[in-house]
Amino acid sequence: MLLIFSSPLIGLLINILVNFSVLRLSKGTGVVSSLGYSTAAGLLVVLAMPIYTQEFEHLPPNSVIYLALSYCFFHFVHIPVASVRIRVLLELAKRTKVSEAELLRTYGASHILEFRLKRLTDTGQIAETSGAFTTKVKRIYYVAAVLATLKRFVNRGEVQL
């Protein structure tokens, strides 16, 4: 019984171990790809567990719990890669005092734009044709649209998008 309920946590543990090993051993693998492999490895464990326990009733809830926890782990690993806040803190941690102008020279909107456009192009979300950027795959766009709708809802429509 305990094995059935703990299978999402075992899956998460496998996810963390596989992710850490991939990041440590395969330097050429990106953070997002490593998270893809490790999430799949953990999910396999969660899906395989009922074969051992012969208890299939808990497979759907266990998969949902596992995927929700993996999403949290994804954020924990991915936030330092993509977060503007973490980057600002890193810049401040390097020196005792930094003026806003200096900070913006090192890491300002132009850096953010360049970095994000490169990442969105590399991951195939957008495409660049003779200096114009267009949407290629709409998957992340839909997520952005849902988040923008929620933002508009909580701010009573007063947002700049």
Q: Does 57 bind other proteins (CB under 8 A)?
A: yes
- Which residue of 40, 44, 80, 122 would you call a contact of other proteins, by CB under 8 A? 80
Q: Which of 40, 83, 122, 124: binder of other proteins (CB under 8 A)?
A: 83
Whole-number Cα distances in Å, 147 to 83, 104, 127, 138, 151: 17, 27, 23, 14, 6
Considering the complex, what minimum distance in angstroms separates the CB of residue 51 from other proteins? 18
Residue 54 contacts other proteins per CB under 8 A: no
Residue 17 touches other proteins, criterion: CB under 8 A = no
**String of contacts with other proteins for each residue 97-136, x by CB under 8 A:** xxxxx-xx--xxxx-xx-xxx-xx----xx--x-xxxxx-
Name the residue among 40, 49, 48 with its Cα closest to residue 67: 40
Q: Find the binding residues for other proteins in span 21-40 (CB under 8 A).
A: 23-24, 27, 31
Residue choice 14, 17, 75, 124 for contact with other proteins (CB under 8 A): 75
Torsion, CA 21, CA 22, CA 28, CA 29, rounded to 10: -150
Asked if 93 is part of the footprint of other proteins (rule: CB under 8 A), the reply reads: yes
Selection from 159, 19, 15 nearest residue 7 by Cα: 15
Chain centre to alpha carbon of residue 122: 16
Question: Using the rule CB under 8 A, is 86 a contact of other proteins?
Answer: yes
Both structure tokens of 90: 């890193």
1 sits in which H/E element: none
Q: How far is the CB of 52 from other proteins (least distance, A)?
A: 19
- Name the β-bridge partners of 127: 134
Question: How many other β-carbons are positioned within 10 Å of the β-carbon of residue 158?
Answer: 7
Q: Which stretch binds other proteins (CB under 8 A): 37-45, 46-54, 153-161?
A: 153-161
